[in-house]
Amino acid sequence: NAGVMQNPRHLVRRRGQEARLRCSPMKGHSHVYWYRQLPEEGLKFMVYLQKENIIDESGMPKERFSAEFPKEGPSILRIQQVVRGDSAAYFCASSPQGTLSPLHFGNGTRLTVT
């Protein structure tokens, strides 16, 4: 049973470019979460999605960031016109519906903006 799959593992973008981060949840999991980790810090909640539905995006910056989880295919976190401050590790996590079990995290995408 494959875990949460994220790709790419590492992504380098120049300032002003777009970054697209992908996440496939564990099989049977219908809830996807995105968290951001800055160096030497804990993870910070960004957005919570179910299929075709954004449940809570209260942690997402209002501009340049968007997320989706289409009916088919992986969840995508999109960052437009990246800036140096966007450099971080972005983790996706998934969980089944209606459960108390902990989130299962992917290995993360490390974004570097040059």
Give the residues lining the site for other proteins (CB under 8 A): 31, 33, 35, 40-45, 48, 56, 58-59, 91, 93, 95, 100-108
What region does 32 belong to: left with phi over 0, alpha with psi -120 to 50, or beta?
beta
Nearer to other proteins, 14 or 42 (CB): 42
- Pick the closer one to other proteins by CB: 17 or 107: 107
Question: What's the residue count for the chain?
Answer: 114
In the three-class reduction of DSSP (H, G, I as helix; E, B as strand; rest coil), residue 20 is classed as strand
Q: How far is the CB of 17 from other proteins (least distance, A)?
A: 24
To other proteins, the closest distance from the beta carbon of 112 in angstroms equals: 13
Q: What is the CA radius of gyration of the chain?
A: 13
